[in-house]
Amino acid sequence: MKVLVTGANGYLGRGIVKHLLDINCSVVATDRDLSRVDDRAQKVACDLFSVNDPYKFFNKPDVLLHLAWRDGFVHYSDVHIDDLPKHYRFLKAFAESDVKLIAGMGSMHEIGFYEGCIHEDTPCKPTTPYGISKNALRMLTQLLCEQNNKEYMWLRGYYIVGNSEFGSSIFSKITSAVKDGKQDFPFTMGQNQFDFIDYDLFCEQVARAVTQDKTLGIINICSGYPEKLADRVERFIQENGYKIQLKYGAFPDRPYDSKAVWGDACKIKRIIENTERFEYDNQN
């Protein structure tokens, strides 16, 4: 299977490309810069939105995994609105090609303010330009796939835990603060509960999902249960042996963050179980 991964040099892209290669996929990785991408991948550095006939340009992949997105952690950036038509035209070109599956990377911010478990059919009422744009692209991708008889997958991501300083999450910021020698880290009260998933598991779930075609549609990439932000951050600091203290109450909670929200993990668990069973049967 040949998988084209856009945004391959990003925080998520690098790990997902590695997991795809580890399960013996042929990977075409594209981004403006590819310096941090696994060398086993075929690397194509370019401006994604300036490519004519991208399906042929990227050597006719079986699967498009569209991760590329700017300012993902700057939820009110105008870039989300400005880039939306470009994402649409790029995906439209693939929908009209011979690609088999189009998979997009979504976000729980598509849902907006919500409390409880997010299911595949939970209504979306996004409240930021980031969430609005992601949700719009989700609907457009589904429409394009339906119109062109393509398999459609939308991978709705939750809160990723990792100690890479290259990301923009609170965990990456804490790692950067530790490397800068800081003694404390300004923090909220940390009482909101979110669905946290470790970076490697997140990347594995995405790789497993896009390399099968039995379970499609919206798939939550998540752990399936909530945990207090303060508890997870304190545990992260302990797990990594960091000598840094949280300065509680330095920042207010964001008004658009849910008090307690998590993903329904039934579909991704089924995918993992099925793929592991398939691998076991082939090995025995």
Alpha-carbon distances of 180 from 37, 177, 185, 279, rounded to whole Å: 25, 5, 11, 44
HSE at residue 76, side-chain half, CA atoms within 13 A, is 2
The angle subtended at Cα 78 by Cα 73 and Cα 83, nearest 5°, is 90
Q: Rounded to whole angstroms, how far apart are CA atoms 134 and 91?
A: 13
Nearest C-alpha neighbor of 152 from the set 203, 119, 199, 106: 106
Looking at residue 16, its amino acid is I
User: Is-catalytic flag, 256?
Assistant: no
For the four alpha carbons of 212, 215, 219 and 223, in that order, the dihedral sign comes to: negative
- DSSP E strands in the chain: the ranges are 2-6, 26-31, 42-45, 63-66, 101-107, 116-118, 151-157, 159-161, 184-186, 193-194, 196-198, 217-221, 227-228, 245-247, 261-263
Q: Rounded to whole angstroms, how far apart are CA atoms 15 and 166?
A: 12
Give the active site residue among 11, 130, 152, 199.
Answer: 130
| Residue 176: strand, helix, or coil | helix
Beta-strand relationship, 151-157 and 101-107 = parallel
DSSP 45-109: ES-GGG-SSHHHHTT--SEEEE---S-TT-TT-THHHHHHHHHHHHHHHHHTTT-SEEEEEEEGG
Q: Which residue numbers are catalytic?
A: 130
